[in-house]
Structure 1
Amino acid sequence: MHKIESADGTVIAFDQIGSGPPLIIVAGASCDRSVDAALADELARHMTVLNYDRRGRGDSGDTQPYAVAREIDDIRALTDAAGGSASLLGLSSGAVLAARAAADGVPVDRLIMWEPPFSLDDEARRRTSEYAARLGGLLAENRRGDALALFMSLVGMPEEVIEGMRHSPHFQQGLALAHTLAYDAAVMGDGSIPEDTLTRIQAPTLLLAGSRSPAFLCAAAERAAAAIPDARQAVLADQDHNVAPDVIAPVVARFTGTTHDV
């Protein structure tokens, strides 16, 4: 494990494996770097991978007050640690954070966005805003379990399954990250595609979605790609939101032009 300091002094922890051109994994909601370890291992067959704990997660610090700009500074510090620039692979809401970093001038070689969960209509945006407001209230009352259950409901998990999971080890691990759900809510805003932001991205960009994912995720990837000047979009067959590492890694390697294999 390595540690660096972000611009505000927050310690950011990361693992670095592999060799070749660098790529940073930007995790989605309720994930720390352990969740993406298998993905990092697959990617490391082709490149140098920096798999980090976003602030407030795992071994990283959590300087308050939270701001999306501070998370962008974290990615900027990681690109410095990688040698001055890196490709970014953002997953779910992490894809939106990675896009915001690229638009903000972080030196990004290539940007890969896996299923950014944008809201495509007024009803979806209303649900996203209501979720953020309710989430903030639950966290203010330190009701982490209810906040985590709310997030699980948002992503489509049935209520009976959520209730059955409340005493599982997976749920208990999620409690440690529950406060960071508010951070991803801030990254997403009302869920609208931030076209003014996306148009500022100069790095070549690849938007990916899975054929087994909800249709709106494929549509969101396609519409986001249309807003980015140098972007393309592809659908990975037989994949859902929890994409298989051995499926996405070769696609990322081809797009970044890495050929190193160990």
Structure 2
Amino acid sequence: MTVSGSGSPANPFVISSEIPCADVRGCLSAGPGITFNTGTGQISAHLSAQAGNNVVVAPDGGLMVPTAGGQVLTGCGLTGNGSASSPVKANTQAWPYACGVDAAAGGVYCDTQGRLRSDPRGMVSFTNYSESRSYNDIAVPATQNTVLDTFSVNVTNPDPCRSAQVYTEREIDVWMVLPAGAGGGTGQAADEMFYMRNTGTGSVVGVHAQGTKFLPESFTLGPGATAPVSLSATAGRGSGGAYYYSIVFNIRAMIISL
């Protein structure tokens, strides 16, 4: 320690001192994450040598953790090690279809448990509705394609996700009695599908023909939606006391959502 100056206002005392580094080093010690070299007095970060540690000292002297550090282990559906030259990505394959992937490919989604999911699966369902109705010997009308009765059912799309196209197979069976010389025709809506005239001398009982049509419906059912499907039994060209006494209806529906 040195003291200079005379103590006057113009020349005050100045006390100065200098402590050598060696005298201070004994007061310093290393702690968690710190390396202290008592010989040189250098203090630096202590980098763990444990496997998987990616911390390094960058060229600018700072600490840095490289992106993934090439230590990522991938499983099914993933590739890459996380380094800049090999980033982690989905393990895809070539699109094998003639259509474009942007326009035609489905999606991949994450569920509430963090698992990958694809688009909802398509559904195909089939259901059958039928009914047999009896009548009190009603004359077959003379006018062709006169509606005798209508059978209607509600068809429901069971798919909660997708709209569905409905295809129906429809059957109508009108049972008639044709006295001698009588005639009558039956069908669906405006289409007479069966006609018979009795050219014998006695009555013909239980005359019928099962007319069948397969039709795509003119509507699309939304997810979980319900819509009615109707089927009309018609008859006409009745003559000679022809009458009907029973109609059997059948509607079979195929509901397709893709």
- Larger helix fraction of residues: 1
Q: Same fold (TM over 0.5)?
A: no
> What is the TM-score when the length of structure 2 is the normalising length?
0.17
More strand by percentage: 2
